[in-house]
Amino acid sequence: MIFAPDDPASEALTDGSLTGGDWIRAAAILFGALVLATVVSRVLRRLIAHGIGHGFAAIITARLAGYAVFLIGLFYSMVTLGVRVGPLIGALGLGGLVLALALQGPVENLVASVILQSRRPFSIGDTVELLGIRGIVLDIDSRTTRLRGLDGTEIRMPNRSVLADPIVNLTREPVRRSSLSVGVAYDTDLQLSAEALAEAVSRVSRVLTEPAPTINLDGFGESSIGFTILYWHQSDVPSELATRHDLVLAVHQALSSQGITIAFPQVVVWSGESTGPTYERPPARVRTPYPGLDDTPPTSKRRASWRRSNRRPDTS
């Protein structure tokens, strides 16, 4: 659109007449901003990649910084041409708000992606538990976190859901602890059982000796007295499964060799025959003493009945 010199819209956009030098100066500023934005983007991407590793966080942060530098140069070049950028910035801010509301979901995933890669609760290759699912981290993009499940499937989770829920990193530390519960019968020698369990744990080579495993009595169950074995192993999932397999085998062997029964849930079957007490004649009145009720003397007189008696007075 071309505005006439006396057009009010033209006065709102420019301040005075423009010369060739003004256009050259604005073009130089815009070109310089473009070059500076490219340099800033590349340098920042290298710095972030060196600090937190290559990934989407380095790419998006560097691009946003480059866009910001270019926009600053663009606005400055427009000021050089006499354009009033105040109303333009207001219009862009309102349009950005409307766009942000319309793209709330993708924007939340984008922000969550930047937070995840900047704070680094997990890295590529870590075994994690996210949203109740275990898997190995493959990648984090602008929308999802990709996992390879332990069954070989590929799983994509929204970044905002990953950030909102607890994140369990199974391989951040080289070792971690697991537990195994064992129940023995009520008539079992508990000291002998504890010694047998300790001997079983010592025979499993995958159980680490440092930190040392512990064996604790955890209480009385419905059908057994329970032991809990706390043991340490390598943090990867295959080591966890292999260690548990060996430990269950060793515990069963140790208890069986000592004649100790591993308790199991028991059910009492009723034959249907009545063996309870019988009453020849029920009592005429049932009143069981109740603490706090029958042993407290009355504190007030009994109120007279409000009902009128139907009996006539004796006049004889």
Q: Are 73 and 30 in contact (CB under 8 A)?
A: yes
Last residue of a domain, one of 154, 169, 184: 169
Q: Would you state the pLDDT for residue 250?
A: 95
Residue 234, in any domain of the structure: yes
Q: Would you state the pLDDT for residue 253?
A: 94
Say yes or no: 182 and 251 in one domain.
yes
> Would strands 127-130 and 133-140 be described as parallel, antiparallel, or unpaired?
antiparallel
Residue type, 286: V
Mean pLDDT of 197-221: 93
Q: How many Cβ atoms sit within 10 Å of the Cβ of residue 254? A: 20
Residue 211's pLDDT band, with cuts at 50, 70 and 90, is: very high
Residue 137, in any domain of the structure: yes
Residue 115's pLDDT band, with cuts at 50, 70 and 90, is: confident
Q: Would you state the pLDDT for residue 194?
A: 94
Mean pLDDT of 275-304: 66
Say yes or no: 78 and 37 in one domain.
yes
C-alpha 78, offset from chain centre? 48
Q: Would you state the pLDDT for residue 6?
A: 47
Last residue of a domain, one of 69, 87, 110: 110
Say yes or no: 214 and 180 in one domain.
yes
Mean pLDDT of 33-43: 85
Say yes or no: 130 and 184 in one domain.
no
308 vs 79, higher pLDDT: 79
281 vs 27, higher pLDDT: 27
Most confident listed range (91-95, 188-192, 221-225, 288-292): 188-192
Residue 31's pLDDT band, with cuts at 50, 70 and 90, is: confident
Mean pLDDT of 276-280: 66
Question: What domain range includes position 194?
Answer: 175-257
Say yes or no: 31 and 64 in one domain.
yes
Q: How confident is the model over 65-96, as pLDDT tens digits?
A: 887 888 888 877 877 777 776 666 666 666 66
- Hunting for tokens 């602008």 — which residue is that? 142
Q: Residue 41 sits in a domain of what CATH number?
A: 1.10.287.1260
Residue 221, in any domain of the structure: yes
Q: Would you state the pLDDT for residue 10?
A: 43
C-alpha 16, offset from chain centre? 60
Residue type, 39: V
Q: Residue 159 sits in a domain of what CATH number?
A: 2.30.30.60
Give the ranges where the chain is alpha helix by DSSP (H): 8-13, 20-52, 56-80, 85-102, 104-119, 159-164, 190-202, 237-257
With a cut of 60, say whether residue 164 has pLDDT above it.
yes
Q: Can you give the pTM of this predicted structure?
A: 0.60
Mean pLDDT of 271-291: 71
Domains contained in the chain, number: 3
Q: Residue 224 sits in a domain of what CATH number?
A: 3.30.70.100
203 SS3 class: coil
Say yes or no: 105 and 133 in one domain.
no
Q: Would you state the pLDDT for residue 275?
A: 62
Q: Would you state the pLDDT for residue 278?
A: 65
Q: Could you tell me what percent of the chain has a pLDDT over 70?
A: 74
Residue 232, in any domain of the structure: yes
223 SS3 class: coil
Residue 83, in any domain of the structure: yes
Say yes or no: 187 and 163 in one domain.
no
Residue 135's pLDDT band, with cuts at 50, 70 and 90, is: very high
- 25, two tokens: 């100066």
Say yes or no: 124 and 139 in one domain.
yes
180 vs 27, higher pLDDT: 180
Mean pLDDT of 43-61: 69
Residue 28, in any domain of the structure: yes
Mean pLDDT for all residues in the chain: 80
Q: Would you state the pLDDT for residue 25?
A: 82
Q: Are 75 and 29 in contact (CB under 8 A)?
A: no
Residue 31, in any domain of the structure: yes
Residue 249, in any domain of the structure: yes
Name 85's Cβ contacts closer than 8 Å, sequence gap at least 6.
75, 78, 79
- 157, two tokens: 């989770």
Say yes or no: 26 and 100 in one domain.
yes
Say yes or no: 36 and 52 in one domain.
yes
Q: Would you state the pLDDT for residue 158?
A: 92
Alpha carbon distance 293, 94 (integer Å): 73
The region that residue 287 occupies, defined by phi over 0 for left and psi between -120 and 50 for alpha, beta otherwise, is: beta
Last residue of a domain, one of 228, 257, 286: 257
Q: Would you state the pLDDT for residue 46?
A: 79
Mean pLDDT of 30-38: 86
